[in-house]
Every structure is written in C-alpha cells, then in structure tokens.
C-alpha cells in the first residue's frame, strides 16, 4: 500500500455533528443534502424541520381516522348487510382497506384503455362478496382471494411499464411511444426525462409540459413531504433545469416501490442505465437527500458484483465491520444518509470508474494512506485484520479493473490509485 494517493476515510456530508473513525473526526449529515444553494439554505432548514413535525402530526391524525373506520368505504353511509358486517369487524375492515388500496394501485398503473375492464371485474367481484351475506369467514376468504388477484394484476402492470423503461437506452423513441399510453406519475416523469435528455425520443414541448404537471401532481398526492422538498430544491436559483427534471424522476421512482434486493413484492430497478448515460448529474441526484431513515430507500442501483463479491473485498468488509458499526452507535438515524452515499460511491466506482477517480464529492474527508495505516496500527487487534485485507482487496480491484474496464494492470498513475481510492471508500 503506497503513501502517495489519498484515501477516503468514510463519513462525509454536511452538518454540525461528527463521528470518529480511525481516530479522525468526520461531519455527519444533520439535514437534507445536495441542495447546492447559497442564499436559501437557512430558510430551507427551518422549513424542513417544520414540515417534518407537521407530517408526523398529519400521519397521527390519519391513523386515528383509519382506526375509527378502517374499511375502504364510509361506514356511516347506507350499507348492505355485507358492508355492515365489514364495518363491525376490525379484521374485515383492514382487509377491505388493503383491497381498496390494491385496486387503486392497479388502476393507476395500467393504461386508461384497460380501466373499463378492471372496473367491470371489480363490480362483478363485489356482487360475489355480497353473496356472502354476513358470514365473516366467507367475506374474509373472498377478500383475500381478491387481494391476491389484484396483486398479480399489479405485478403484471408494473412489468409492462418497466419493460418500456428498460428499453429507453436502446430505443428511446419506441419507449416514448409506449409510455404515452400511460397517464400515471412514473410514466410521465420518464417522458419528461426523454424530452430533456433524449432528443430522438420525439416527445414534444407541449407533451413534456403536460407530463411534468402530471408527475408533480402524483408526487404531491402521494407524498406531500417529498413534494415540498422538491419545491425547495427546484426553486433554488442554483438548481438547473436538468437537475429538477432528474430530481422529479428520482422521486417518482422512489415512490413506485422498487427494491434493490429480492423480497416480497420484489420489483427490480430498471433505471440503472441513466448512471452511465447521465453521469455526474445522476450520481448527484440519486444519493442521500433527506438526512434521515428515508435515505435507506434511495433508488441506488447495486454495484458490479464482480468487484465487491471477490474474496478480497468480502474479507475487507468483514474486517471493517466492527469499525464501521461504531458509526451507527454515534450518529443515530442520520447514519442512513452516509450509508446511502457509500452505496452510491460503490456504484460509481464500478459503473463509472474514470468519473469516480475524478469526482470531488462535497464534504468528503480524505487522509493519506500513511495516516490510515498509522490509525489502523494504533487499533492493534482490531486494525490488524483490516491491514491484512487491504492488500487482497487492492489486488482484486486491479484484476477487476483490467478485466472490466481495460485499465493498465500495473499502472501506478491509474490502476493503483483507483484500487486505493475504492478500498478507502469501503473503509
């Protein structure tokens, strides 16, 4: 390990609080980041705190209201016998609310031309449900069956639009034509993206203007807090048009319940191509944004598995576990912002290595490799495994770099500097 290149020693961001890692003090995120503003930041901080408080109060009131009703229809209206039975039983009311939300989600995700058929299917099912009379078991079973059907329909609808989105990189015009059939916020945000960044897509100025209104309205309806943050960033004089378009897309993706790893209701990311196509703008927009646990849901694509699943990197991550774990103990929920930035750097390191080497990330803390080694040695038993693992991680990085990106294998000006940069970001 050489003493020349710089090492990035882990926590970076904005704010007044700090945590300590390897004997260095680093700032942690105590408020929203990536604002890139000069004159409006103080006002932004105040409004952010007020909105967080108001949002918590609003959610409390919503939950109280839901507990009083629960069903997907008003329980104080004129009801059928089945509806009265649903309102009388909290478990049935909750199922009915889930069913109602599932149906609304499917309606929103399909093209308008398909909605008449879905409304007809729902009407038929309601008659089947009402045939249960007041039998709780019958009503509950039919609700569960219907929820399963709607979830399947929702997954198919999501797959349809995701196939179009995934084709944007290779067929932007065809993708745009397909997305025109949808009127939801996600499709509209992508059409705005196509207009802004893919001129061959054929999206007109008038269509883009309309789609921006639709995407913003969907964001406002789905998450008022997120929409308010979008307003603050968009209206800052330092925010470019490209940035606001990319931010609206990021928030629309974030609201669509994608997941970065398999699990229940798994919907894999399909936007990962934009990091290669848009470079720094995409990386600057998709990272930590909220300074809270919300950043755990940042739509950051996973890095190239060929590097970070190598034996050297697995050993390094294991060795660093006790050290990075202390960050969570000291930083609280704000640590999720730093975790999101680490994930973003891992992605950038494997997808855009040249950009990664040239990037200057706001608030990033660097130390020389000699300083890092000195601190690791001072940790004695805890530091020794890290020192040992670093050499293997560097070797694996050099091999991956040759194979995946054709950098010279023994180049001290590029290959070794890259290895040390990447290894330090995991530390």
Choose one of 131, 161, 191: the last residue of a domain.
Answer: 161
Cβ 9 vs Cβ 22: under 8 Å: yes
Task: Give the total number of structural domains in the chain.
Answer: 3
Give 63-120 pLDDT, tens digit per residue. Answer: 333 344 456 677 877 788 999 999 999 999 999 999 999 999 999 999 999 999 999 9
In a domain, 291, yes or no: no
In a domain, 400, yes or no: yes
* Residue 283 confidence (pLDDT) above 70: yes
Which pLDDT does position 24 carry in this prediction? 34
| Mean pLDDT, residues 259-283 | 86
| Mean pLDDT, residues 274-281 | 94
Instruction: Judge if 136 and 201 occupy the same domain.
Output: no
Instruction: Judge if 171 and 280 occupy the same domain.
Output: yes
Instruction: Judge if 180 and 281 occupy the same domain.
Output: yes
- pTM equals 0.75
Instruction: Judge if 149 and 175 occupy the same domain.
Output: no
Mark out the alpha helices in 131-204 (DSSP H runs). Answer: 136-166, 172-179, 185-197
Which pLDDT does position 35 carry in this prediction? 33
Of 13-22, 104-113, 294-303, which gets the smallest average pLDDT? 13-22
Instruction: Judge if 269 and 318 occupy the same domain.
Output: no
Instruction: Judge if 269 and 173 occupy the same domain.
Output: yes
Of 196-210, 259-273, 319-333, 392-406, which gets the smallest average pLDDT? 319-333
* Residue 270 confidence (pLDDT) above 90: yes
What is the 3-class SS of 303-365, one letter each residue?
A: CCHHHHCCHHHHHHHHHHHHHHHHHHHHHHHHHHHHHHHHHHHHHHHHHCHHHHHHCCCCCCC
* Of residues 184 and 420, more confidently modeled: 184
Which pLDDT does position 45 carry in this prediction? 31
| Mean pLDDT, residues 34-56 | 34
* Of residues 127 and 22, more confidently modeled: 127
Instruction: Judge if 343 and 393 occupy the same domain.
Output: yes
Q: DSSP code of 180?
A: T
Cβ 8 vs Cβ 357: under 8 Å: no
In a domain, 297, yes or no: no
| Mean pLDDT, residues 133-157 | 93
Give 364-381 pLDDT, tens digit per residue. Answer: 544 555 565 666 666 656
| Residue that the structure tokens 């979008």 belong to | 230
Nearest to 36, CA basis, from 398, 311, 280: 280
Angle, in degrees to the nearest 10, between helices 115-130 and 90-109: 160
Domain, as residue range, for 399: 6-34+304-426
Instruction: Judge if 83 and 146 occupy the same domain.
Output: yes
In a domain, 124, yes or no: yes
Q: Please, which residues have CB within 8 angstroms of residue 159's CB and are 6 or more apart in sequence?
A: none
The dihedral through the CA atoms of 166, 169, 171, 177 has a sign that is: positive
Q: Give the other-Cβ count within 10 Å of 183's Cβ.
A: 17
In a domain, 62, yes or no: no
Choose one of 128, 144, 161: the last residue of a domain.
Answer: 161
Instruction: Judge if 14 and 79 occupy the same domain.
Output: no
In a domain, 63, yes or no: no
| Mean pLDDT, residues 289-294 | 91
What's the CA gap between 22 and 382, in Å, rounded?
10
Mean pLDDT (the chain) is 77
Instruction: Judge if 238 and 184 occupy the same domain.
Output: yes
Q: Of 262-266, 270-274, 317-321, which has the strongest mean pLDDT? A: 270-274
How many residues in total does the chain contain?
427
Which pLDDT does position 407 carry in this prediction? 60
Which pLDDT does position 400 carry in this prediction? 84
What's the CA gap between 49 and 220, in Å, rounded?
18
Give 197-250 pLDDT, tens digit per residue. Answer: 999 999 999 999 999 999 999 999 999 999 999 999 999 999 999 999 999 999
Which pLDDT does position 352 carry in this prediction? 87
Choose one of 116, 135, 161: the last residue of a domain.
Answer: 161
Instruction: Judge if 381 and 398 occupy the same domain.
Output: yes
User: Token pair of 348, please?
Assistant: 């950038």
* Residue 136 confidence (pLDDT) above 60: yes
In a domain, 56, yes or no: no
Instruction: Judge if 15 and 93 occupy the same domain.
Output: no
In 28-72 the beta strands, taken as DSSP E runs, fall at: none
* Residue 298 confidence (pLDDT) above 80: yes
Nearest to 401, CA basis, from 351, 358, 342, 347: 351
Q: Which residues of 227-258 are buried (b: 16+ CB within 10 A; e: fewer)?
A: bbbbebbeebeebeeebbbbbbbbbbbbbbeb
* Of residues 49 and 422, more confidently modeled: 422
Give 316-332 pLDDT, tens digit per residue. Answer: 888 877 766 665 556 67
């Amino acid at each position: 390990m050489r003493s020349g290149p710089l090492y990035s020693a882990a926590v970076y961001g904005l704010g007044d609080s700090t945590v300590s890692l390897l004997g260095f003090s680093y700032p942690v995120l105590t408020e929203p980041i990536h604002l890139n503003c000069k004159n409006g930041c103080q006002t932004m901080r105040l409004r952010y705190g007020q909105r967080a408080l108001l949002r918590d109060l609003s959610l409390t009131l919503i939950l109280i209201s839901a507990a009083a009703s629960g069903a997907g229809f008003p329980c104080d209206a004129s009801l059928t016998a089945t509806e009265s039975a649903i309102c009388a039983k909290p478990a049935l009311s909750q199922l009915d609310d889930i069913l109602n939300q599932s149906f609304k989600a499917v309606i929103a995700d399909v093209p308008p031309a398909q909605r008449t058929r879905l409304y007809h299917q729902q009407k038929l099912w309601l008659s089947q449900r009402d045939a249960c009379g007041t039998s709780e078991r019958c009503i509950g079973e039919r609700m569960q069956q219907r929820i399963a059907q709607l979830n399947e329909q929702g997954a198919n609808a999501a797959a349809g639009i995701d196939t179009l989105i995934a084709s944007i990189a290779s067929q932007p015009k065809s993708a745009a034509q397909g997305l025109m059939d949808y009127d939801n916020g996600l499709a509209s945000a992508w059409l705005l993206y196509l207009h802004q960044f893919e001129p061959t897509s054929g999206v007109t100025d008038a269509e883009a203007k309309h789609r921006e209104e639709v995407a913003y309205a969907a964001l406002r309806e789905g998450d008022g807090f997120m929409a308010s943050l979008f307003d603050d960033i968009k209206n800052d004089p330092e925010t470019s048009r490209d940035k606001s378009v990319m931010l609206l897309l990021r928030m629309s993706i974030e609201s669509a319940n994608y997941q970065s790893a398999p699990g229940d209701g798994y919907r894999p990311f399909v936007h990962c191509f934009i990091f290669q196509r848009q470079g720094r703008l995409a990386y600057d927009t998709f990272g930590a944004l909220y300074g809270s646990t919300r950043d755990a849901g940042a739509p950051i694509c996973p890095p190239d598995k060929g590097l970070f699943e190598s034996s050297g990197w697995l050993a390094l991550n294991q060795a660093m576990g006790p050290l990075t774990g202390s960050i969570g103990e000291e930083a609280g929920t704000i640590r999720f912002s730093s975790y999101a930035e680490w994930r973003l750097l891992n992605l950038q390191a494997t997808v855009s290595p040249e950009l990664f080497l040239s990037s200057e990330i706001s608030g990033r803390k660097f130390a020389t490799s000699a300083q890092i080694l000195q601190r690791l040695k001072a940790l004695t038993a805890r530091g020794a495994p890290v020192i040992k693992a670093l050499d293997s991680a560097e070797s694996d990085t050099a091999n991956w770099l040759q194979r995946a990106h054709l950098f010279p294998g023994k180049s001290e000006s590029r290959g070794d500097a890259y290895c040390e940069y990447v290894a330090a970001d995991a530390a």
